Amino acid sequence: MIVGEKMAGNEFQVSKAKILLAKGDITEQGTDAIVNAANSTLMGGGGVDGAIHRKGGPKILEECKRMRATEWPDGLPTGRAIITSGGNLKAKHVIHTVGPVWRGGIHGEPELLAEAYLNSLRLAVSNGLKTIAFPSISTGAYRYPIEKASRIALTTVKEFLEKEDKLDKVVFVLFTRHDLEIYKKAAKEII
Ligand code: AR6
């Protein structure tokens, strides 16, 4: 029930923008861009990355290959982001970013995770986009503890929206009810 969901705290206002927390599949989102939790090769993989390339079709991979051949011959560094078209996806664009692999939290992981969110948001704005959907970057194959990662994700987005009024909506698409609850708890404390 939509009203109930809202009352249960899935929607948050920051300046003129909304942050929404939803359970679902990021590849189904109709936002201007969806964010891919990619790796440095930009050549695809499992999890979100696999799902985006499977559903989006070969055009996205071709653009990624072009990026590798031109701007990023050694791969996209952790924390950086690039944008491609959305291929066959509902979203017109995919922003590919690389989150950090969790190695205990003392190798710059918090800063790099914040950079991944921040550079994705900047790229959305510089491309004139209004709405963007994020998965929970780094909390799958890269093993970043989701309680910690959710706080960084929400703090980074909130602080960005407080300074920058060009985005209308940021959606966090969580894959499981459990992950959604963790983000909701963090959002209630942070936003
Ligand atoms: N929609 C939303 N969330 C999803 C989906 C989906 N379709 N599929 C998985 N998740 P991961 P990472 C959740 O592993 O940790 C890839 O192989 C998942 O449950 O996709 O940044 C890349 O190529 C988890 O909570 O990304 C890299 O090599 C979250 O999305 C590496 O994994 C992120 O999980 C990146 O690892």
> Is the Cβ atom of 37 under 6 angstroms away from ligand 1?
yes
pLDDT digits (tens, 9 = 90+) for 56-109: 999 999 999 999 999 999 999 999 999 999 999 999 999 999 999 999 999 999
Predicted confidence at residue 9, as pLDDT, reads 74
pLDDT digits (tens, 9 = 90+) for 116-134: 999 999 999 999 999 999 9
- Domain boundaries of the chain, sorted by first residue: 11-190
Distances (CA, A) of 189 to 32, 114, 186: 28, 18, 5
> Is the Cβ atom of 136 under 6 angstroms away from ligand 1?
yes
6 vs 156, which has greater pLDDT?
156
The whole-number average pLDDT for the span 136-149 is 99
pLDDT digits (tens, 9 = 90+) for 14-58: 999 999 999 999 999 999 999 999 999 999 999 999 999 999 999
Q: How far is the CA of 86 from the centre of ligand 1 (A)?
A: 18
Reduced to 3 states (helix: H, G, I; strand: E, B; else coil), residue 86 is coil
Pairing of strands 11-14, 17-23: antiparallel
- Nearest residue (CA) to ligand 1, atom 23: 45
CB 60 within 8 A of CB 84: yes
The mean pLDDT value of the chain amounts to: 96
Return the active site residues.
49
Handedness of CA 115, 188, 49, 145 (dihedral sign): positive
Residue 6 has pLDDT above 70, yes or no: no
From CA 65, how far away is CA 23, in angstroms rounded?
31
Torsions phi, psi of 37, nearest 5?
-80, 80
> Is the Cβ atom of 56 under 6 angstroms away from ligand 1?
no
Predicted confidence at residue 59, as pLDDT, reads 98
Q: How far is the CA of 141 from the centre of ligand 1 (A)?
A: 6
Predicted confidence at residue 158, as pLDDT, reads 98
> Is the Cβ atom of 47 under 6 angstroms away from ligand 1?
yes
Predicted confidence at residue 3, as pLDDT, reads 40
- Domain 11-190 homologous superfamily, CATH: Leucine Aminopeptidase, subunit E, domain 1 (3.40.220.10)
Pairing of strands 131-134, 81-85: unpaired
Torsions phi, psi of 75, nearest 5?
100, 160
Q: How far is the CA of 46 from the centre of ligand 1 (A)?
A: 7
Q: Could you tell me the pLDDT band of residue 7, with boundaries at 50, 70 and 90?
A: very low
How many C-alpha atoms does 146 have within 13 Å on its Cβ side? Answer: 18
Residue 4 has pLDDT above 60, yes or no: no
